[in-house]
Amino acid sequence: MDDQISVAGRTLRFCLYGPVDGVPVIELYGTPSSRMRRPDQIAAIEHSGVRVLMPDRPGYGGSTRLPGRTVADVVRDVEVLADSQGWETFAVTGGSGGGPHALACAALLPQRVTRCAVLSGIRPQAETLPSEEVLRGQLAQLGADILGQVEAGGPAYPGAPVGTPGWEDPATQARLVATFADSLDGWYDDKVAFAQPWGFSPESISVPVGIWYGTADEHVPESDARWLLENIPTAQGFQYEGGHLPTSATLIDIHNWVSAGRP
């Protein structure tokens, strides 16, 4: 189900997946991505029996941009989204660039977040970025390259099984265009937010945190997972066979783990 709410005059778009009586989970996707999930991801959610709310962060999809946002700014939006569903408590998950945002919720909403799962997540690291014009140009080129490869018959995502719908599938095309072409604002703002202080201390997190990392992640080094495990007091690690994008089996494991923390 696709829906939207208003937060301080901004529009927040989101999708809901899974059974309505499932364990509440707010999933914060990677950088870049979209609230629209692939069929295999939706099947994993259904199999796990969780109720997943997947929002578009400001600047992505149909969500109004919030220039200069920090990682911690996601917390207010998550609270409003949870309230809109009547969820007093909920789990949070975050993949890749969604990891810092999930951790922000764990750190700043300890009375509401039951468990936090991070998949292929990045660690805090100050970075000097190029000018906005240069960075936007780099992101535009990267997005165009990815879309061009899929349109030419390449896989819709790395490691996609044979027979996975490609560019000829309207849903796949809509998801890819929303991620890589419709707007660079969310992608750009994520990059800027990661390069600055996140707005919370990982050492302050008190809720259970699971850190999932692949044996062959081509984008995030294992050292990032090790840093999170060493600096989050409540963290436990789970290594899976594979790269940056997990299999459905790993997604189910994550959903089962966060479900175990339901009050």
Pairing of strands 209-214, 90-95: unpaired
pLDDT in tens, 135-149: 999 999 999 999 999
Q: Is the pLDDT of residue 263 over 80?
A: no
Residue 206, domain extent: 2-126+196-259
DSSP for 215-258 reads: TT-SSS-HHHHHHHHHH-TTEEEEEESSSSSPPHHHHHHHHHHH
Distance of alpha carbon 26 from alpha carbon 90, whole angstroms: 7
Task: Flag whether 168 is in a domain.
Answer: no
pLDDT in tens, 75-105: 999 999 999 999 999 999 999 999 999 999 9
The CATH number of whichever domain residue 8 belongs to comes to 3.40.50.1820
Is the whole model's pTM more than 0.95, yes or no?
yes
**Tokens 């997990």 -> residue:** 246
pLDDT in tens, 26-77: 999 999 999 999 999 999 999 999 999 999 999 999 899 999 999 999 999 9
pLDDT in tens, 104-144: 999 999 999 999 999 999 999 989 999 999 999 999 999 99
Task: Flag whether 187 is in a domain.
Answer: no
Task: Flag whether 182 is in a domain.
Answer: no
Beta bridge mates, 8: none
Number of domain units in the chain: 1
